[in-house]
A and B are shown apart, each in its own frame.
Chain A
Amino acid sequence: KAGVTQTPRYLIKTRGQQVTLSCSPISGHRSVSWYQQTPGQGLQFLFEYFSETQRNKGNFPGRFSGRQFSNSRSEMNVSTLELGDSALYLCASSSAPLGYNEQFFGPGTRLTVL
């Protein structure tokens, strides 16, 4: 069974631009969660989607948004990029809503904002 895949693995953008990251969950998993990891703040929860609906949302500004498609693939969008958005963005998938079952993480997308 293929694991969670994220594309692209690395991305360089400049301030003010927008970016879209993609996450393909494990086949059959309907929950996808997104996290931001930085050296200063650690791993922080962005949001979770289950069956195309956003279930939970972390404490991030509205520039961070996401969606989930009918095949459970998910995208995360960050608009008007700031230097502080440089981070490793991780997605995780689970067969049940977040907190009920084990979640499996992808390798992450390393975003650098110049």
Chain B
Amino acid sequence: TQLLEQSPQFLSIQEGENLTVYCNSSSVFSSLQWYRQEPGEGPVLLVTVVTGGEVKKLKRLTFQFGDARKDSSLHITAAQPGDTGLYLCAGGTGNQFYFGTGTSLTVIP
């Protein structure tokens, strides 16, 4: 059982479409992070959300932290082929750090 469940697991969309990735947990996190990982590379941090209900925007990416700090979402507007990659949410609780199950996104030109 994974502490952070992401959905969907796989997503293949056409360039220009919008999409939302979800990260859910039954545990409360003081903060959640979103990463993107490309093949052959380590994950790269996109954003950290800290406050329940917080919304952060990074160009075409919008991140939201749930009010109860148990879930988060990533919305991409007008997806581009360069958005292709593995998206991971992550957070620390107790003495451990957890990554989500991952969402593999493919944007078709």
Contacts and interface: CB of A to CB of B under 8 A. Distances in A.
Interface of A: 4, 33, 35, 42-45, 48, 55-59, 90, 92, 98-99, 102-108
B99 A42 contact: yes
Contact of B97 (A90, A98, A104, A108): A98
A107 B97 contact: no
B42 interface: yes
Contact of B96 (A58, A104, A108): A58
B96 A92 contact: no
B42 A98 contact: no
Chain B: number of interface residues, binned into ranges:
20 to 34
Nearest to B2: A42
A107 B42 CA distance: 5
Per DSSP, chain A at the interface is: strand
Contacts of B48: 102
A35 B35 CA distance: 14
B43 A105 contact: yes
Contacts of B99: 35, 42-45
Contacts of A57: 95-96
Interface string B83-102: 00000101010011111111
A6 to B, nearest CB: 9
A42 B100 contact: yes
A35 B92 CA distance: 14
Contact of B92 (A42, A98, A102, A108): A98
Contacts of A33: 97
